[in-house]
Amino acid sequence: MNRIQIGVIATAIFLAVLIFGLTRQSYDKHDLLGVIPGMTHKQAESAGKARKWGCEDRPAAREFVCATGRGTLTMEYLAGGDQKVARATLRLSDTTGSAQALADDISEQYRKKPVSVEGQEPAITFTWKLDEGLTLQMRKSADAADISIVGDDLQKQRDNEKPDHAN
């Protein structure tokens, strides 16, 4: 091979790596089982039906709860309007394994490192800051493991709303 051919091949490899990196970045994970804070209650219902989850709406608590193959997924939504999902929490049905192993798996999926770790085994909480004002948190105790994704601004709004039964 001459220098020109080597240069062309090297340039092609560089561009392929660059394009792969850019497309990979644009698809960073920011959902929990397809649920994204900010989606509407109707979109959450559609996602549950499409995946054939057994779901139940709890309007008084503004929660939509689904039995999934991974555990129970609870979506908390805002009152009125399009009822945006503020938080989604997955209570894992399988809590075997260490919290660190689960946190490492989450870090790999979301391509982020935790910004904080509180506590120690068996009761420990890992927190990740995702893009677009989303926070991901994993709490693991000896008998339970919960993974939550929260739209920070939406959760503040929900926290300031009066419960339906207080109206």
For domain 31-166, which architecture applies? 2-Layer Sandwich (3.30)
- Please compute the mean of the pLDDT values over residues 83-102 and round it to a whole number: 92
Neighbours of 141 (CB within 10 A): 15
Only one residue has tokens 């555990």, namely 71
Residue 59: the pLDDT is 93
pLDDT band at 19 (very low <50, low <70, confident <90, very high): low
Predicted pLDDT of residue 18: 46
The stretch 125-134 carries a mean pLDDT of 94
pLDDT of residue 164: 56
Q: Residue range 121-133: average pLDDT? A: 92
pLDDT average, residue stretch 29-39: 92
Contact 98, 75 (CB under 8 A): no
Q: What percent of the chain has pLDDT over 70?
A: 83
Determine which helix (DSSP H) or strand (DSSP E) holds 39, and give its type and residue range.
Answer: none
